């Protein structure tokens, strides 16, 4: 239905960054928290499912650009790049050390197989694109979480 309202909607994909509470966070915080404690990284399913991870600071920039850009519409905010969960687990293992094991569990009911954003509209109309790289930000998160 169209009620004549003009709105700007940012559709956020898997947001990550330092300061997340693992109890309420996604797979990145769960993996990092378990890796720091020397516990296995649990992958539900085969690990081939994909997600689109976007750093919280990139998200903040997208909100800023949407506010000052005087735009109306729906914009996907993500990296625009699918990352397999198994690759994410190996990335974290590579940072903390290969002693951390990967454990597979049955797939969870309701989990989708693939999810990633098409960010072309956000790039064009918001003049926004993500700047942070997943691997570098994972290293920063690990360092900060180890200090806590």
Q: Which residues contact 106 (CB under 8 A, 6 or more apart)?
A: 44, 45
- 79 touches 53 (CB < 8 A): yes
Q: Which residues contact 12 (CB under 8 A, 6 or more apart)?
A: 54, 59, 77, 78
pTM of the model: 0.91
**Domain range spanning residue 49?**
8-143
Higher pLDDT, residue 2 or 48: 48
Q: Which of these ranges, 7-11, 25-29, 73-77, 117-121, has the smallest mean pLDDT? A: 25-29
Confidence label for 3 from pLDDT (cuts 50, 70 and 90)? confident
Would residue 148 count as lying in a domain? no
pLDDT: which is higher, 26 or 121: 121
Domain-located, residue 2: no
Task: Please give the pLDDT value at position 40.
Answer: 97
Is 21 domain-assigned? yes
- Mean pLDDT across the chain: 93
Indicate the angle between helix axes 27-36 and 134-147, nearest 10 degrees.
50
Q: What is the pLDDT of residue 22?
A: 66
List residues bridging with 76 in a β-sheet.
11
Over range 49-62, report the average pLDDT: 98
Number of domains in the chain: 1
CATH code of the domain containing 36: 3.40.50.720
């Amino acid at each position: 239905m169209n009620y004549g309202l003009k709105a700007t909607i940012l559709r956020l994909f898997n947001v990550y960054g330092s300061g997340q509470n693992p109890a309420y966070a996604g797979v990145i915080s769960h993996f990092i928290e378990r890796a720091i404690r020397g516990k296995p990284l649990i992958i539900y399913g085969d690990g081939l499912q994909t997600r689109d991870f976007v750093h919280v600071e990139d998200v903040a920039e997208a909100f800023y650009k949407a506010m000052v850009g005087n735009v109306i519409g729906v914009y996907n905010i993500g990296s625009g790049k699918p990352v397999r969960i198994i690759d994410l687990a190996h990335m974290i293992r590579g940072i903390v050390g290969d002693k951390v094991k990967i454990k597979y569990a049955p797939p969870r009911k309701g989990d989708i197989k693939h999810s990633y954003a098409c960010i072309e509209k956000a790039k064009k109309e918001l003049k926004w694109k993500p700047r942070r790289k997943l691997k570098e930000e994972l290293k920063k998160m690990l360092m900060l979480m180890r200090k806590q």
